[in-house]
Every structure is written in C-alpha cells, then in structure tokens.
Structure 1
Amino acid sequence: MLTTIQIDTVVSAALREDAPWGDLTGEVFLPAAATATASLRAREAGVLSGIDVFAAAFRLTDPSVEVTALAEDGDRFETGQELAVVSGPARAVVQAERIALNLTQRMSGIATLTRALVDAVEGTGARITDTRKTTPGLRALERHAVRCGGGVNHRFSLSDAVMAKDNHLAILQQQGLDLTAAIRAARARLGHTTALEVEVDRLEQIEPVIAGGVDIIMLDNFTPEQLVRGVEIVAGRAIVEASGTVNLETVGEIARTGVDVISSGALTHSARHLDLGLDIALTAGAER
C-alpha cells in the first residue's frame, strides 16, 4: 500500500512545479467565493489506480475540497463510468485538476497494461512483475499501479537485493574471476534474509550460476525453446525469472515454458496514460 508520506511527497512537488506562485488564471478569472463540483469520468475502459493520489492533489491545494471516491484501486471500469466526485472552492478545484489527472491517468494506464498481461498468463502459475525502469521520482506510485493491475513488484531499489546483471558478469570475466566462486563469495557476505539473483543470457551459464547458490536466476532474452530447456536445467533449484521481449503477444507462450516469474520493464516505461476526464461545473458564485 502507498503511504500518505509517499503520496504527499510526490503530489506536493508536482503542485509546486505546476503553480509555484499560485494559479494566475484562476485568481483573475474566478470569483473567490465560487464553488464547483467535478466528476472524474472514464473516457475509456481500464483498471483504476491512484484514487488516493487523485484526492491528495485537491487536499494539498485546499483542505476544504472534498473528494468522494466511487471506485477503488484495482477496480475495472467501463467507458463513461463516474469514478469520483470533487466539490469545493472553484479556484482550488481548477488549480489541482491537471496534477490530479496526470498522476491518476499515468497510474491507471500502468494498472490496465499490467492486468492485460496478468490475464494473458492466467492458469500457468507464472507471475508478472515490474522492473526498475520507472519514472524518476514516481517509482512508489508506478509500483503501486502494477500491484493494482494484479502484478507483483521486483526489488524496489539497488539497496534491497543482490542482482548481478550482464555488466557485472562482464567485469568479473574481465578480471579473470570464476563465476561460481564469485557468487559463493557474494553469498558469504550477505545476511540470510537477502535474496541473490543472477542474470544469464546463455544456457551454458546456468549450471555455474546455480552451483554458486543463487535464489533466483534470470533467463534474459531466451527463446521459448531455450526457456523450456533452462527450466529443465534449473530443475527447481532456484526461482526462474524470464525477461526480455515480453508483450501481450509473447507473454502467454513465455508463461507456458514453466518459468516462475516474468518481468517486464514495459509495464512502467511503455504504458500509455489512460484517458480520464474531470468535468467541472460552477455551482455558486460571488463578487470578489
């Protein structure tokens, strides 16, 4: 779950960027006493994520703005469905509108894409996970959106787990170090609760990596046939993660190879914003 601190940190920064000295248009065009009611509506079908982020944009702009959520994170919705109602001072509603929509559209787009991949592997036992290919500053929000879509999260940061990738292995090779011995040495330096994962891109790397005592082995850019063989070689001695060339057309076939996890950077770096709209109507007014 997203924490209030995580949400407010991102939303506050976005609001400051968008209106560093206030909303000049609202101040000169809208009466100070005017109030407004607005409906958050879906202009296409999808999966909702970020309803608390949406509400925070208005709360942090003006605490008197009320947001009533009509759907929850993770809910599927249809075109035209009303997802929330916003009411309060018109200036605040208009000022917060763009930030509220930008973040919720982004998060709902990620949740919708994730749900599509999760649905595509249903029944296989494979789990869909994200990567660190997130928007700087928005990782907590984007990772939450993946969970809303039914996916799971990879390590949150470089501090959370050991994951030796191709560049790490290339440096080891350059230094003339043995891969199995290097993994065992790394394992000896870790606490017992810290996971150790190694990425490979060739079948012949699997056995030396497994011999080192990894928890997870990533098979990167393997063909489906190679994935089947890789799963056979690992033989349950580690969690098998598949990565590379993952999309809606390929994910089902990848899942049926027997891998445990399928990671996709596209969940966060290629998801398009979902089309949501905030329809505002002034409900009262007064002279400034």
Structure 2
Amino acid sequence: MISPEQFEKEIELIIKNAIREDVGDGDHSSLACIPEDARGKAKLLVKDNGIIAGVEFAKKVFAHIDPELKVEQKLKDGERVRYGDIVFYVEGSSQSILKAERLVLNAMQRMSAIATKTSEFVEKLQGTNTRILDTRKTTPGIRALEKWAVKIGGGENHRFALYDMIMLKDNHIDFAGGITKAIEKTKSYLKEKGLDLKIIVEARDMREIREILKSDGVYRILIDNFNFEETRQAVALIDGKCLTESSGGITLETASSYAECGVDFISSGALTHSVHNLDLSLKAV
C-alpha cells in the first residue's frame, strides 16, 4: 500500500487539478455580482440517507482555497445521516465559499455513496471473518478519494495502483506462458529490482489453484468467478497456505454466502464503479 505521505500528495493533486478545471481564470459569476469583501455563511445539508464521507476532504478544499474560511463541524466522516441533517457550517468570504462549493459537493456526494455501499457490504459480512476490499475500478484522477471513502465505510483497500503490489491475472499468466513461469519470473524481477511487493495470483479453476500452491512466496490467491461449492473446495485445498480472495460479480445478495465458504477477502468493483451519489446541498444561511 502507498504511504500516508504519498496519499496526502495524491489528495493535494486532486484538489489542485479540480480547482484548475473548475475555476480556470476566475469564478466570473461570483466576481460579477458579489463584492470582494462580502462575507457569508453556508451549511452542508443532507437530502438523503446513508453514510457521510468527505468531511475531512472538504476541510482541506476550504483551507486550500481560502485559509480564512472557518468550518463548524457537526458530523464526522463515517456517521450515518438522514434527510435534513446538517454536516457543517462554513463561514467567511462569500466568493471563496462559492469557489469551493462544486468541488466539495461533487467529492462528498460520490464519497458518501461509496461509503454507504461499502457499509452495506460490511453489514452483510458481520459474523464472518471475511473482509470487503475495493479494486482499481475507480474514476480516473480521483482514485484516492474513492479508496478513502471505502475506508470510511468500513472496508479495506486493495492495492492502490500497479506499483504497490504484484497481481498476476489471467492475461499476465497467458502472456508469460503459464502460472509457474509467471510466478518465477515475478520473483526474479522483484529480487533483481530490490523490491518487496506482495504477490497475488488469480486462479480460474481448481487446476490452476493446485499449480499456484506448488510455488512459494504467493501472498494471496484470487479465486475468480467460482461458484459457492467450488469456492468451498478451493478454500479447503488452499488450507491456510496463503490468504484467499473471492471476486467476480459478487453482489450484496451473494456476499454472505461467499463469506460462509471461508474466504479471507471479497473484492468488489461495484463499491466504486456502480454507486448513486448521495444528495447533498450547500445552502446559504
């Protein structure tokens, strides 16, 4: 996983790029009709039910745009919210509040949706030893926000990107000439480059699991698109020699059944690629 320092750099880049994209050479709507010295106050109003996420990000946005803006926080990331709740008040330059408004709303609406979806999976997995993971199926440019939201919702992050973990999937295996060759080439590469990265290998059937188990140094086996009975058999065969992860079309309705098969993790791209934004508004008070 990436370091906290790297993560903070990603967040800073997201803020800078979003402001560049949205503000350009100026918020001319506000500049045209609101005096430079005008002060105002606004509230973040919840118009939906779910898990709120992105409060800390919003504070970073406000501070970046105008360090003089004051945030009075009422709710924190990860709290369950209902229609009519107020998450925070922000007070200061009216122009600054308006400049930050859309970035704050866009980010918090999506982050809250992801946190809400993740929390639903977490609830389904209660009473088991299985944890929910995200994937790299994220929106380009804002991956850090989406993975942050998964954590807020109670889930865990998979690898952040291609550089912080090895994941040998079907195409890697086929291009490399087979599972054993892919694993051995990977181990040699890591040694040559002086890299200490965990290795996950995808298995498409029981035969491939048996072949993976012949090699040392595999951290986790991805049991991909197996049904319940096949998953139980795979977990029994692996027998704790490495961690296990189920993936492939797993839904809220099927998650608990896969967990009951004994897998350590379930990964779901739906946490980040198939959510409906939570309805939030920033309203002047």
TM-score (norm 2): 0.91
Rounded to whole Å, the distance in 1 between the matches of 2:59 and 2:213 is 47
RMSD across aligned positions (CA): 1.8
* Equivalent residue number for residue 275 of structure 1: 279
Report which stretch shifted further, 90-99 or 50-59: 50-59
Give the Cα–Cα distance (whole angstroms) in 2 for the partners of residues 90 and 180 of structure 1.
62
SS in 2 for 1:190: helix
Q: Distance in 1 between matches of 2:57 and 2:169?
A: 34
1:144 is aligned to 2:148: yes
**Match of residue 186 from structure 2:** 186
Q: Aligned to 1:53, which of 32, 54, 57? A: 57
Alignment of 1:69-148 (within 5 A): 69-148=73-152
**Distance of 2:33 and 2:196 partners within structure 1:** 58
TM-score (norm 1): 0.90
The alpha carbon displacement at 1:45 in A equals 1.6
1:196 aligns with 2:199: yes
Provide the residue aligned with 1:229 in structure 2: 233
CA distance in structure 1 between the partners assigned to 2:198 and 2:74 by the alignment: 40
* Match 1:169 to one of 170, 173, 178: 173
Tell which structure's C-alpha radius of gyration is larger. 1
Q: 1:185 to 1:98 in 2, by over 3 A?
A: closer
1:19-56 Cα shifts (integer Å, max 9, x gaps): 10111111112233322111112111211221122122
Q: Please report how far the alpha carbon of residue 76 of structure 1 lies from its aligned counterpart in structure 2 after TM superposition.
A: 1.8
Mark the runs of 5 or more structure 2 residues left unpaired by the alignment: none
Give the CA deviation at 1:216. 0.6
State percent identity of aligned pairs.
Answer: 39
Residues 11 and 53, structure 1, Cα contact 8 Å, conserved in 2: no
Q: Do the aligned residues in 2 keep the contact of 1:181 with 1:212 (CA within 8 Å)?
A: no
Q: Which residue is 1:216 aligned to?
A: 220
Does the residue aligned with 2:214 lie in a helix, a strand or coil? helix
Matches of 2:196 and 2:12 in 1, distance apart?
Answer: 31
Gaps of 5+ in 1: 282-288
SS in 2 for 1:212: coil
Opposite residue 36 of structure 2, the aligned amino acid is A
Instruction: Output the CA distance in 2 between the equivalents of 1:107 and 1:36.
Output: 26
The yes-or-no answer on 1:14 pairing with 2:23 is no
Deviations 1:63-122 (A, max 9, x none): 221112212222222221111111111111122111111011111111111011011111
Q: 1:189 Cα shift? A: 4.1
Residues 8 and 171 (structure 1), Cα distance of their counterparts in 2 relative to 1, 3 Å cut: closer
Q: Which amino acid aligns with 1:277?
A: S
Deviates more, 1:111-120 or 1:33-42: 33-42
Flag the 1:83–1:264 CA change in 2: closer, same or farther, 3 A.
same
Query: Which aligned runs of 4 or more in structure 1 are off by greater than 6 angstroms?
Result: none
Aligned-residue offset at 1:172 = 2.9
Query: What count of residue pairs does the alignment treat as equivalent?
Result: 277
Residue 193 of structure 1 and its aligned partner are, at CA, apart by 4.1
Tell me which moved more, 220-229 or 25-34. 25-34
